[in-house]
Amino acid sequence: MSFFEELVRQTEAERQYLLSAPIIDLVFKGEITRDHYVAFLAQAYHHVKHTVPLMMAAGSRLPEKKEWVRVAIAEYIEEETGHQEWVLNDIAACGYDKEFVRNSYPSIATELMVAYAYDTIQRINPMGFFGMVHVLEGTSINLADKVAGAVKSTLGLPSNAFSYLISHGSLDKDHVVFFENLMNKVECSEDQRTIIHSCKVFYKLYGDIFRSLTSEHGIPSVA
Protein backbone atom coordinates (compact mmCIF):
# COMPACT_ATOMS: atom_id res chain seq x y z
CA MET A 1 0.00 0.00 0.00
CA SER A 2 1.37 3.42 -0.96
CA PHE A 3 1.68 6.13 1.67
CA PHE A 4 -1.09 8.17 0.02
CA GLU A 5 -3.43 5.17 0.24
CA GLU A 6 -2.44 4.71 3.89
CA LEU A 7 -3.12 8.39 4.56
CA VAL A 8 -6.62 8.08 3.08
CA ARG A 9 -7.31 4.85 4.98
CA GLN A 10 -6.18 6.09 8.38
CA THR A 11 -8.12 9.36 8.19
CA GLU A 12 -11.46 8.08 6.90
CA ALA A 13 -13.30 8.45 10.23
CA GLU A 14 -12.20 12.06 10.54
CA ARG A 15 -13.19 12.70 6.93
CA GLN A 16 -16.68 11.46 7.69
CA TYR A 17 -16.87 13.89 10.62
CA LEU A 18 -16.30 16.73 8.16
CA LEU A 19 -18.75 15.42 5.57
CA SER A 20 -21.49 14.94 8.18
CA ALA A 21 -21.61 18.66 9.01
CA PRO A 22 -25.29 19.72 8.97
CA ILE A 23 -24.74 22.58 6.51
CA ILE A 24 -23.63 20.10 3.83
CA ASP A 25 -26.92 18.27 4.30
CA LEU A 26 -28.79 21.58 3.91
CA VAL A 27 -27.04 22.17 0.59
CA PHE A 28 -28.17 18.90 -0.95
CA LYS A 29 -31.69 19.19 0.49
CA GLY A 30 -32.02 22.55 -1.23
CA GLU A 31 -32.49 24.31 2.10
CA ILE A 32 -29.35 26.46 2.16
CA THR A 33 -29.84 30.23 2.19
CA ARG A 34 -27.81 32.99 0.59
CA ASP A 35 -26.67 34.01 4.08
CA HIS A 36 -25.35 30.50 4.79
CA TYR A 37 -23.35 30.64 1.57
CA VAL A 38 -21.96 34.10 2.33
CA ALA A 39 -21.03 32.95 5.85
CA PHE A 40 -19.10 30.06 4.27
CA LEU A 41 -17.31 32.42 1.89
CA ALA A 42 -16.37 34.80 4.70
CA GLN A 43 -14.65 32.03 6.64
CA ALA A 44 -13.09 30.69 3.44
CA TYR A 45 -11.51 34.09 2.92
CA HIS A 46 -10.06 34.04 6.42
CA HIS A 47 -8.22 30.76 5.87
CA VAL A 48 -7.50 30.98 2.13
CA LYS A 49 -5.57 34.24 2.65
CA HIS A 50 -3.12 32.25 4.79
CA THR A 51 -2.47 29.52 2.21
CA VAL A 52 0.52 31.17 0.55
CA PRO A 53 2.06 32.50 3.81
CA LEU A 54 1.74 29.00 5.29
CA MET A 55 3.44 27.46 2.27
CA MET A 56 6.22 30.02 2.51
CA ALA A 57 6.64 29.25 6.20
CA ALA A 58 6.73 25.50 5.56
CA GLY A 59 9.25 25.88 2.74
CA SER A 60 11.53 28.03 4.88
CA ARG A 61 11.59 25.41 7.66
CA LEU A 62 12.55 22.46 5.47
CA PRO A 63 16.15 21.17 5.62
CA GLU A 64 18.29 21.00 2.50
CA LYS A 65 17.71 17.26 2.11
CA LYS A 66 14.02 18.03 1.49
CA GLU A 67 14.70 20.48 -1.33
CA TRP A 68 12.45 18.35 -3.55
CA VAL A 69 9.55 19.21 -1.24
CA ARG A 70 10.42 22.90 -1.34
CA VAL A 71 10.32 22.78 -5.15
CA ALA A 72 6.82 21.28 -4.96
CA ILE A 73 5.72 23.98 -2.51
CA ALA A 74 7.00 26.65 -4.92
CA GLU A 75 4.69 25.22 -7.59
CA TYR A 76 1.76 25.32 -5.18
CA ILE A 77 2.54 28.94 -4.27
CA GLU A 78 2.51 30.02 -7.92
CA GLU A 79 -0.93 28.50 -8.44
CA GLU A 80 -2.52 29.58 -5.14
CA THR A 81 -1.46 33.23 -5.06
CA GLY A 82 -4.38 35.66 -4.96
CA HIS A 83 -7.19 33.13 -4.52
CA GLN A 84 -8.52 34.99 -1.49
CA GLU A 85 -9.58 37.76 -3.89
CA TRP A 86 -11.75 35.27 -5.74
CA VAL A 87 -13.59 34.63 -2.49
CA LEU A 88 -14.13 38.34 -1.85
CA ASN A 89 -15.40 38.85 -5.39
CA ASP A 90 -17.91 36.04 -4.88
CA ILE A 91 -19.15 37.76 -1.72
CA ALA A 92 -19.61 40.98 -3.70
CA ALA A 93 -21.48 39.08 -6.44
CA CYS A 94 -23.87 37.84 -3.74
CA GLY A 95 -24.63 41.45 -2.85
CA TYR A 96 -22.54 41.82 0.30
CA ASP A 97 -19.71 44.10 1.35
CA LYS A 98 -16.44 42.36 0.56
CA GLU A 99 -14.35 45.07 2.24
CA PHE A 100 -16.22 44.49 5.48
CA VAL A 101 -15.16 40.83 5.27
CA ARG A 102 -11.57 41.76 4.41
CA ASN A 103 -11.36 43.86 7.58
CA SER A 104 -13.27 41.47 9.85
CA TYR A 105 -12.04 38.82 12.26
CA PRO A 106 -12.48 35.11 11.55
CA SER A 107 -14.68 32.86 13.64
CA ILE A 108 -13.03 31.07 16.55
CA ALA A 109 -13.17 27.81 14.59
CA THR A 110 -11.32 29.35 11.63
CA GLU A 111 -8.85 31.09 13.92
CA LEU A 112 -8.02 27.78 15.56
CA MET A 113 -7.47 25.94 12.30
CA VAL A 114 -5.14 28.62 10.96
CA ALA A 115 -3.27 28.84 14.28
CA TYR A 116 -2.82 25.05 14.35
CA ALA A 117 -1.37 25.17 10.84
CA TYR A 118 1.24 27.76 11.79
CA ASP A 119 1.99 25.96 15.05
CA THR A 120 2.49 22.63 13.28
CA ILE A 121 4.97 24.21 10.87
CA GLN A 122 6.90 26.17 13.50
CA ARG A 123 6.81 23.85 16.50
CA ILE A 124 6.36 20.30 15.28
CA ASN A 125 7.30 19.52 11.67
CA PRO A 126 6.72 21.58 8.50
CA MET A 127 5.75 18.39 6.69
CA GLY A 128 2.59 18.40 8.81
CA PHE A 129 1.29 21.20 6.60
CA PHE A 130 0.49 18.57 3.98
CA GLY A 131 -2.23 17.25 6.27
CA MET A 132 -4.03 20.56 5.68
CA VAL A 133 -3.39 20.35 1.94
CA HIS A 134 -4.98 16.91 1.80
CA VAL A 135 -8.06 17.99 3.75
CA LEU A 136 -8.74 21.20 1.84
CA GLU A 137 -7.95 19.92 -1.65
CA GLY A 138 -9.57 16.55 -1.07
CA THR A 139 -12.71 18.29 0.15
CA SER A 140 -12.65 20.62 -2.85
CA ILE A 141 -12.49 17.87 -5.42
CA ASN A 142 -15.25 15.88 -3.71
CA LEU A 143 -17.61 18.73 -2.90
CA ALA A 144 -16.82 21.99 -4.72
CA ASP A 145 -18.49 21.38 -8.08
CA LYS A 146 -21.48 19.58 -6.51
CA VAL A 147 -21.99 22.26 -3.88
CA ALA A 148 -21.66 25.08 -6.41
CA GLY A 149 -24.26 23.45 -8.65
CA ALA A 150 -26.66 22.77 -5.78
CA VAL A 151 -26.33 26.25 -4.27
CA LYS A 152 -26.71 27.95 -7.65
CA SER A 153 -29.80 25.90 -8.39
CA THR A 154 -31.36 26.68 -5.01
CA LEU A 155 -30.51 30.37 -4.77
CA GLY A 156 -30.42 31.48 -8.39
CA LEU A 157 -27.20 33.42 -7.90
CA PRO A 158 -25.14 34.51 -10.92
CA SER A 159 -22.25 32.38 -12.14
CA ASN A 160 -19.71 34.96 -10.96
CA ALA A 161 -20.75 34.23 -7.37
CA PHE A 162 -19.07 30.82 -7.60
CA SER A 163 -15.59 31.53 -8.95
CA TYR A 164 -13.87 30.18 -5.82
CA LEU A 165 -15.80 26.90 -5.65
CA ILE A 166 -15.86 26.17 -9.36
CA SER A 167 -12.22 27.12 -9.95
CA HIS A 168 -11.04 25.11 -6.99
CA GLY A 169 -13.09 22.10 -7.98
CA SER A 170 -11.41 21.97 -11.39
CA LEU A 171 -7.96 23.14 -10.26
CA ASP A 172 -7.78 20.70 -7.40
CA LYS A 173 -8.40 17.69 -9.64
CA ASP A 174 -4.91 18.28 -11.02
CA HIS A 175 -3.59 19.18 -7.57
CA VAL A 176 -4.77 15.89 -6.07
CA VAL A 177 -2.77 13.87 -8.62
CA PHE A 178 0.25 16.07 -7.94
CA PHE A 179 -0.28 15.69 -4.18
CA GLU A 180 -0.65 11.90 -4.38
CA ASN A 181 2.62 11.59 -6.29
CA LEU A 182 4.34 13.91 -3.81
CA MET A 183 3.11 11.97 -0.78
CA ASN A 184 4.28 8.69 -2.27
CA LYS A 185 7.82 10.08 -2.27
CA VAL A 186 7.69 10.66 1.51
CA GLU A 187 9.71 7.80 2.98
CA CYS A 188 10.57 9.13 6.44
CA SER A 189 8.33 7.34 8.96
CA GLU A 190 8.25 10.34 11.30
CA ASP A 191 7.13 12.62 8.47
CA GLN A 192 4.44 10.09 7.56
CA ARG A 193 3.18 9.93 11.16
CA THR A 194 3.11 13.72 11.38
CA ILE A 195 1.15 14.08 8.12
CA ILE A 196 -1.42 11.47 9.18
CA HIS A 197 -1.84 13.05 12.61
CA SER A 198 -2.18 16.60 11.29
CA CYS A 199 -4.62 15.42 8.62
CA LYS A 200 -6.87 13.96 11.32
CA VAL A 201 -6.74 17.22 13.26
CA PHE A 202 -7.42 19.35 10.18
CA TYR A 203 -10.46 17.25 9.28
CA LYS A 204 -11.81 17.91 12.77
CA LEU A 205 -10.96 21.62 12.72
CA TYR A 206 -12.36 22.15 9.21
CA GLY A 207 -15.46 20.21 10.19
CA ASP A 208 -15.86 22.56 13.15
CA ILE A 209 -15.73 25.54 10.79
CA PHE A 210 -18.60 24.05 8.82
CA ARG A 211 -20.51 23.39 12.03
CA SER A 212 -19.99 26.99 13.17
CA LEU A 213 -21.62 28.50 10.08
CA THR A 214 -24.96 30.22 10.58
CA SER A 215 -27.05 32.61 8.53
CA GLU A 216 -26.34 35.38 11.06
CA HIS A 217 -22.98 36.49 9.68
CA GLY A 218 -23.34 40.23 10.30
CA ILE A 219 -21.98 41.25 6.88
CA PRO A 220 -23.80 44.30 5.47
CA SER A 221 -25.40 44.10 2.07
CA VAL A 222 -24.60 46.60 -0.65
CA ALA A 223 -26.97 48.21 -3.12
Overall number of domains in the chain: 1
Model-level pTM? Answer: 0.94
**219 within domain boundaries:** no
Q: Is residue 218 part of a domain?
A: no
The reply to whether 220 falls in a domain is no
Judge residue 28's burial from the number of C-beta atoms within 10 Å of its C-beta, 0-12 exposed, 13-18 middle, 19 or more buried.
middle
CATH number for 126: 1.20.910.10
Does residue 18 sit within a domain? Answer: yes
Per-residue pLDDT of the chain (223 residues; tens, 9 = 90+): 999 999 999 999 999 999 999 999 999 899 999 999 999 999 999 999 999 999 999 999 999 999 999 999 999 999 889 999 999 999 999 999 999 999 999 999 999 999 999 999 999 999 999 999 999 988 777 777 788 888 888 888 999 999 998 876 655 566 788 899 999 999 999 999 999 999 999 999 999 999 999 999 999 999 6
Per-residue pLDDT at 21: 95
30 CB burial (10 A radius; 0-12, 13-18, 19+): exposed
Asked whether residue 223 is domain-assigned, the answer is no
Helices (H), the chain: 3-10, 12-19, 22-29, 34-48, 51-61, 67-80, 83-93, 98-102, 108-119, 129-139, 145-155, 163-183, 189-212
According to the model, what pLDDT value does residue 10 have? Answer: 98
Instruction: Report the alpha-carbon distance of residue 141 to residue 65 in Å, rounded.
Output: 31
Distance between CA 115 and CA 58 in Å, rounded?
14
67: domain range? Answer: 3-212
